[in-house]
Chain A
């Protein structure tokens, strides 16, 4: 509890904070409160981060493979996950474009090329833990096997939607991370387990 005597005040002069008080106690209390407030912000951000991450698993956007990626990240490679998913989204974009071209003309569909694209997409999506994208690929492959162009087009559209959605979600997640770091906090090393967070809370595109 602060007494009037030890009340500290704060001023910002030229971008710097100055604390004034009659005594040292006042300053330290003041600083403690500031720190506490700051910690509170950090703690809140961290909680938010964790909750958001969990939600991504619960909604089936991510699975345990994403967890493995996060585990691989360390101080030496702080941007590893961001880099890998960035590569993945690049791949998605390229593959979707080329498959789209192959499916363009109904009379001349190169299903082999489409199949190859789906296969690769399935491989990379499963490697990064992009569960929904991977699931669409499973359906996509089936359409390809029976040479169902309409089905392929629908799957293509869906894959496009899913990867962009995931991209947005992960962007939010990484933004949260950034804010935590900016606020002076550490990114929670929380690794939700997909197998525990059942995806039946929200509808998923399980194949």
Chain B
């Protein structure tokens, strides 16, 4: 499948659902893989629980669901189940040949979504996608809307899945939101209509706060000043809380800052760069444990989630700068573009963009007593790259898919190589002759000579185990069929002279092996 096809499959959930199948039994694994393919899932297989864990740890967003056998040599299936549940929180389905209820109970207790008995039937696998949906529905759905889902070929489930992916990163933010009495009171609420803090909106907000003074700003007053239709006090309140907490953090960190000026110019440079590609670690800026500052100004909770809506064009610094103040308590947004604050969710794709450490954005007190909103390198930064966004999600998906493809194409040591389907013929021939087991077979079947067609095969079999049923073969190495062969031979022989029956059977490029004489007799 091409990457594009795979990508489209994602949007047609459950078609394309990504399953990791684990079973040390190669026969069962092969069958399972085919069954899952038949259900139109995207399948990765491994015969080792250890490898499965590695695959999952490498990128937990790569899979939607895990199916695992219970009895495996390198790791107990229940243990794997536990670990997957703890670390990745993916739905896990257990497979076993044990029908003993105590195993089923054990599976349930360890958190299995379902417990299937071998041999697995395709009907059972056709419905396993429900566990994916169920699991994500029950997670606390962040109020943060995944904006512009149309750019990903939106579907509810897709949104659900994407949400679920970011669930862990959300949790911290979620908790804070709830503490603040966010309008999202119901923790399980999904996708309530949210205010999207666009640049313009945020600018207005900042202007209002600026006017009122950071310390004294109150949501009601800010709201009035902003004079934006359909904006509620609650929206402003939550936004303000986030703003304040970010301010606080930045202020704390600012005290440890060494080179503010360097950051300033850094930001200038950053903002003029086209994409996040430029947001590399260019200077060593000691900032606690942080590694480097990205250019994009992001307040902690205004990360550059998906810039799907953002258009990918990073604003020039100057255009995004609000007016400066020089009063003591004022602040300046300087040296950095306002981030696209469309989305309020954190996209912590550390894996996708290694090298970015999640950092806090900070408002720093510049040496000249100006607060500089400074962007920190968030894992979401890469999404600033216009090359990636506005189709950041799409590209991430593409990356996932290509990774998935790669992983399935890689001949893993545990994935078996398919043996030549017919090579065991040779094995069998010699084996059959030597094993001696053929005797009971012959003894059983010799008395039956005139039974119906179903025993013909057996008679043929017993007459010459090494030939199987040779009918119409061009080359009969062992000479012609024994004369006591079964009725098929009789039929064949009746149609043509016996001595020529074998040799000329498939003669000529028309495939008509019939000898002249035979046809004449027919005529």
Report if B76 contacts A (CB, 8 A): no
Give me 16 A-to-B residue pairs in the complex whose CB atoms sit less than 8 angstroms apart, sorted by A's number. A2-B523, A16-B510, A37-B495, A45-B471, A48-B469, A51-B456, A86-B423, A86-B424, A87-B416, A119-B71, A120-B97, A126-B118, A127-B31, A128-B31, A129-B119, A171-B425
User: Nearest-CB distance from B197 to chain A (Å)?
Assistant: 50
On whether A123 and B508 interact (CB within 8 A), knowing A37-B514, A55-B457, A164-B435, the answer reads: no
On whether A172 and B468 interact (CB within 8 A), knowing A55-B457, A119-B71, A165-B437, the answer reads: yes
Among the 9-residue stretches B20-28, B231-239, B263-271, B320-328, the one with 4 or more Cβ atoms under 8 Å from chain A is B20-28
Nearest B residue to A94 by beta-carbon distance? B26
Nearest A residue to B455 by beta-carbon distance? A55
**Pick the contact of B437 from A40, A82, A161 — CB < 8 Å?**
A161
Lowest 9 CB-CB distances: which A-B pairs, in order? A82-B421, A123-B97, A17-B508, A124-B27, A55-B454, A127-B119, A79-B421, A34-B512, A88-B27
On whether A179 and B471 interact (CB within 8 A), knowing A87-B27, A91-B25, A123-B25, the answer reads: yes
A58 touches B454 (CB 8 A): yes
Known: A119-B98, A122-B97, A167-B428. 5 other contacts (CB 8 A): A15-B509, A45-B471, A51-B456, A120-B97, A168-B465
On whether A83 and B469 interact (CB within 8 A), knowing A17-B508, A51-B453, the answer reads: no
Report B's interface with A, CB cutoff 8 A: 24-28, 30-31, 34-35, 38, 71, 96-98, 118-122, 416, 418-425, 428, 431-432, 435, 437-438, 441, 452-458, 461, 465, 468-469, 471-473, 488, 491-492, 495, 506-512, 514, 516, 519, 522-523
A52 touches B437 (CB 8 A): no
Interface of A is mostly: helix
CB-CB under 8 A from B418, the residues of chain A are 83, 87
A179 touches B416 (CB 8 A): no
CB-CB under 8 A from B25, the residues of chain A are 91, 120, 123-124
Tally A residues with Cβ within 8 Å of B.
65
How many Å lie between the Cα of A183 and that of B457 in the bound state? 19
Report if A7 contacts B (CB, 8 A): yes
CB-CB under 8 A from B422, the residues of chain A are 82, 174
A15 touches B97 (CB 8 A): no
Interface string of A118-147 (1 = CB under 8 A from B): 011011101111000000000000000000
How many Å lie between the Cα of A44 and that of B97 in the bound state? 40
B34 touches A128 (CB 8 A): no
How many Å lie between the Cα of A171 and that of B432 in the bound state? 11
On whether A86 and B519 interact (CB within 8 A), knowing A91-B27, A127-B31, A165-B437, the answer reads: no
User: Nearest-CB distance from A149 to chain B (Å)?
Assistant: 23
How many Å lie between the Cα of A12 and that of B503 in the bound state? 13
A168 touches B421 (CB 8 A): no
How many Å lie between the Cα of A65 and that of B28 in the bound state? 12
How many Å lie between the Cα of A86 and that of B421 in the bound state? 6
User: Nearest-CB distance from A100 to chain B (Å)?
Assistant: 15
On whether A80 and B34 interact (CB within 8 A), knowing A58-B454, A89-B424, A168-B432, the answer reads: yes
A83 touches B421 (CB 8 A): yes
**Pick the contact of A90 from B419, B471, B507 — CB < 8 Å?**
B419
B97 touches A126 (CB 8 A): yes
CB neighbors of B among A11-53 (8 A): 11-12, 15-17, 30, 33-34, 37-38, 40-41, 44-45, 47-48, 51-52
CB neighbors of B among A52-110 (8 A): 52, 54-55, 58, 65, 68-69, 72, 77, 79-80, 82-84, 86-91
CB-CB under 8 A from A69, the residues of chain B are 31
CB-CB under 8 A from B519, the residues of chain A are 10, 30, 33-34
A91 touches B26 (CB 8 A): yes
Nearest B residue to A123 by beta-carbon distance? B97
Report if A188 contacts B (CB, 8 A): no
Report if A148 contacts B (CB, 8 A): no
